[in-house]
Structure 1
Amino acid sequence: MLDQLNAQLARLADHPFYRGRLPREVASLEAFAREVPLMKRADLVGEMQQPGYGAFAPPVPPVRINLTPMGASLVPILHSANDLRAIEAACATHLDACGIGPGDVCMVTFGYHLFVAGLFYQSQMEARGVACIPHGPGETERAAEVARRCGVTVLAGNPSHAIKLIEAGCPVPRVFFAGGEAFTSNPALYARVQAAMPGAVLIDSFSLSECLPVARTFPGGEGVHVFDELLYAEVIDPHSGEPVADGERGELVLTHLRKELQPLVRYRTGDLTALVRTAPVHGRTVSLPGVVFGRTDAMVKVKGVKLYPSEFATVLLGVDGARRLQLELTQKPNGGDHVLLRIEGQLAHDALTHIAERFKRQTLVSADHIESNDTLANADAVIDRRHDTR
């Protein structure tokens, strides 16, 4: 990986955006984190709003321009022919691992209007000799009928919609590519898809429009494995910017290793995740076991652990009747933190116990008490009363 990073640093030494910002070479991965500055999304947006895309003006003509919303802006994402070939080559190794190739028929039910996933899946399938049906979302009955008529063997789309397709008579695919909503991190939804598609290989995927693809589950592996021939992944403390130890939660930072247009170096995604090293899975050794927990929004420190309110929603995934979560913090007589979890929705004791266990497993913080309420006035939030003097 160090050689790949140094090759990219050398290529970008005279890039208009990075000139004077990057070393031409680093001695170690630790030096890369220490000597290479972090890049914010605002940096990318600011340049792409300039005439001719500012410092990211393409040195070769783009062959594809996706538009993706970033705040109030629709930001162009540029791909050269070489960029697309590199993506297709990386995805080909994954399709091979899944046993997908000529003779398969893939229906893509992701959106195509600005949303990048539809064309992304279509391109990689076609490059591997797979027949592709670019159906897009919605029109469930028609999609199921088309899938039957054309003998679909591979399905790519939103998991909830895929279940409706199967119920409408779509044949069970041999491989299903999920995206657009939490999948492996939502046990209840994952189990519903398993039940609807017995025997199918289920693939969870994570991508960003500006970093495509990031990671996927591979047959025989655990978690989603990073396409490390395309990207170098780090996880940092969102506030200090310092790298965290493997397995610790923090902000995902990505560096393009081969991107020709709009290359990003130490790009702060704003996504909250954890990274672990694994034994090789089809050659890949970096996994995001919980995919993305939330966003690196306002942080609060509880019992010495950093919590991010946006990750609370994932704790409730798949728990029937649990709508939202509220965290109330008070101070114990001995000075420690007392943690009260309130769940919106009337839940049985077993469900509350399950939520408390998931909360601890994800955040590493134990709740001192958990209760359910019909409604919460300030849900998905932290009420911090530790410094009340009343």
Structure 2
Amino acid sequence: MHDSLDALNLQLERLHTHPFYAGRLPRSVASTAEFAERVPLMSRAQFVAEMGKPGYGAFAPQVPPVRVHLTPMGSALVPILHSAADLRAIEAACGQHLDACGIGPGDVCMVTFGYHLFVAGLFYQSQMEARGVACIPHGPGETERAAQVARQCGVTVLAGNPTHALKLIEAGCPVPRVFFAGGEPFSGNEALYARVRAAMPGTLLVDSYSLSECLPVARTFPGGAGVHIFDELLYAEVIDPDTGTPLPDGERGELVLTHLKKDLQPLVRYRTGDLTVLERTASVHGRTVSLPRVVFGRVDSMVKIKGVKVYPSELRSVLLGVAGATGAYRLVVGSKAHGGDHLTLLVEGAPGDREAIAERFKRQTLIHADAIEAVEKLEGSALVQDNRKGAHQEKETT
């Protein structure tokens, strides 16, 4: 939909004198490959450190903010600043999505996301109102009352946590025409997605991915697969978390985002810490950059097994919705007698379908687990136990 190189060059021209980026950015690049080569990556730690300085350091607002969200990052509550122009840009991008979903004046949206610190509640309310949609800012909990309010007001659009949405439907909430899911893995959790689909058989189900500091990132567009990037707001890359090298489309790695328009706290080649796969697609409502599996883990203490990089937290998606599994797991890596790695996946609980786990594991990691064993209780928090000679014994997520 948008020319990435032109948009990047406009942003580089705007930011080359910005207090945080002065001396770090070229004024223009001839290609996206040159952009990745010449522009340094930025970490969340850098962002948090700058925002912790008096007046927000080099991110001191150059125009007055009109909205300040506070989001937890480690032990800090970090202010996320939006100018009036920032909010209008977000509303315009989301407005295109609402148009694609057939949402507009006459619809009634109930928002059951939280409004206290958690950004989603106000985010959905403001974009709906900007498009002329009546909005009920209910917030989470109080299921019976929420269902009654939804019936009373004729709710046609619902935004909230999928698990809570199921309880609302059971309590008599009208089945919405469109459901916006968030707050927990949705399209990547096959069992939960199937339960929601059964409860809302004719509903357009929308999954989304956002960060407080990059809002929004991507959403399900009707007729598409996975979630498609809001490319008028963000330029997306995937890198090897270990080396920082850009990866080809279709390879799993760490998502890196660059703001293309944001006035306040503009982030350039910002490491999200999230694992994903990026693909180019045929146009879907003008969108051609997709995260087909949304995100499925965090960059953490990578371990190389059978020559392949495995990120321990990505395995959470393997166990989502598996009956009998608690969700806890551990990789145990040893050496085979005649060379090579032997890999055992320990799963806490009593999972019934180990073949399904094995298939999911191979699809996710691209390697085969030599054994999948169930254990009643896993002691400790280590996700990896590496018994190979000379290896560190345990690795935990960070």
Q: 1:147 maps to which residue?
A: 150
CA deviation string 1:240-267 (max 9, x = no partner): 1111121111111000000011100000
- The counterpart of 1:363, out of the listed 338, 341, 365, is 365
Task: Provide the residue aligned with 1:343 in structure 2.
Answer: 347
Report the Cα offset of residue 380 of structure 1: 6.1
SS at match of 1:148: helix
**CA contact 2:229–2:289 (8 Å) conserved in 1:** yes
The 2-side partners of 1:338 and 1:279 are apart by: 41
Contact 1:313–1:380, Cα closer than 8 Å, also in 2: no
Post-superposition shift, 1:377?
A: 2.1
Separation of aligned partners in 2, 1:334 and 1:325:
27
Task: Mark the CA change 1:129 to 1:104 in structure 2 (over 3 Å): closer, same or farther.
Answer: same
User: Is the 1:330–1:337 Cα contact (8 Å) retained in structure 2?
Assistant: yes
1:28 to 2:31 alignment? yes
The letter for the 2-side match of 1:233 is A
Contact 1:316 1:322 (8 Å CA) reproduced? yes
Aligned mates of 1:85, 1:369 — CA distance in 2:
53
Which residue of 107, 111, 115 maps to 1:108?
111
What is the alpha-carbon distance in structure 2 between the residues aligned to residue 373 and residue 15 of structure 1?
Answer: 54
CA distance in 2, matches of 1:234, 1:332: 37
How far 1:40 moved relative to its partner? 0.7
Q: Indicate the residue corresponding to 2:240 in structure 1.
A: 237
Q: Where in structure 2 are the equivalents of 1:155-304 lying within 5 Å?
A: 155-304=158-307
Range with greater deviation from structure 2 (163-172 or 286-295): 286-295
Structure 1 runs of 4+ aligned residues shifted over 6 Å read: none
Aligned-residue CA RMSD in angstroms? 1.1
Tell whether the 8 Å contact from 2:322 to 2:351 is kept in structure 1 after alignment.
Answer: no
Quote how far apart the aligned CAs of 1:333 are: 2.4
Offset of 1:83 from its aligned partner? 0.4
Does structure 2 retain, via aligned residues, the 8 Å contact 1:352–1:370?
A: yes
Q: Deviations over 1:119-150 (max 9, x none)?
A: 00000000000000000001111000000000
Contact 1:326 1:378 in 2 (8 A): no
**Aligned counterpart, 2:331:** 327
| Alpha-carbon distance in 2 for matches of 1:28, 1:281 | 25
Query: For the Cα contact (< 8 Å) 1:309–1:380, is it kept in 2?
Result: no
Equivalent residue, structure 2, for 1:309: 312
Q: Call closer, same or farther: CA 1:336–1:258 in 2, change over 3 Å.
A: same
Measured after TM superposition, the shift of residue 304 of structure 1 is 1.2
Per the TM alignment, residue 107 of structure 1 is displaced from its structure 2 partner at its CA by 0.2
State whether structure 2 residue 354 is matched by structure 1 residue 352: yes
Gaps of 5+ in 1: none
In structure 2, how many angstroms separate the alpha carbons of the residues matched to 1:317 and 1:344?
Answer: 13
Report if the CA contact (8 A) 1:303-1:337 is conserved: yes
- How many correspondences in the alignment? 387
How far apart in 2 are the matches of 1:319 and 1:173? 28
Q: Secondary structure at the match of 2:23?
A: coil
Query: How much does 1:186 deviate?
Result: 0.1
Q: How big is each residue's C-alpha offset from its partner over 1:341-375, in whole Å with a ceiling of 9 and x where there is no partner?
A: 12111233xx1000010011011111112121222
**SS in structure 2 at match of 1:293:** strand
CA-CA distance at 1:26 after TM superposition: 0.6
Which deviations, in whole Å up to 9, do the C-alpha atoms of 1:146-180 show, x marking residues without a partner?
A: 00000000000000000000001100000000000
1:325, 1:379 within 8 Å by CA — same for their partners in 2?
Answer: no
Answering whether residue 370 of structure 2 is matched by residue 373 of structure 1, we say no
3-state SS of 1:62 partner:
coil
The CA deviation string for residues 89-134 of structure 1, in whole angstroms up to 9 with x for no partner, is 0001110110000000000000000110000000000000000000
Tell whether 2:42 aligns with 1:46: no
Seq. identity, %: 74
Residues in 1 aligned to 2:156 and 2:382: alpha-carbon distance in whole angstroms: 40
Distance 1:346 1:30, change over 3 A: same
Shift of 1:44: 1.1
Q: CA deviation at 1:313?
A: 1.3
- 2:396 paired residue number: none
Moved more, 328-337 or 14-23: 328-337
How far the C-alpha of 1:229 sits from its partner, in A, is: 0.7
| Cα distance per residue 1:302-331 (max 9 Å; x no partner) | 111111111121110011111222211111
* Contact 1:297/1:308 (8 A) holds in 2: yes
2:85 matched to which residue of 1?
Answer: 82
Deviation (angstroms), 1:388 = 6.6
Alignment check: 8 A CA contact 2:315 2:364 kept? no
| Residue segments in structure 2 that go unaligned for 5+ positions in a row | 392-398
Tell me if structure 1 keeps the 8 A contact 2:304–2:310.
yes
Within 2, Cα distance between the matches of 1:297 and 1:325? 15
Amino acid at match of 2:354: L
Q: Is the 8 A contact 2:162 2:182 kept in 1?
A: yes
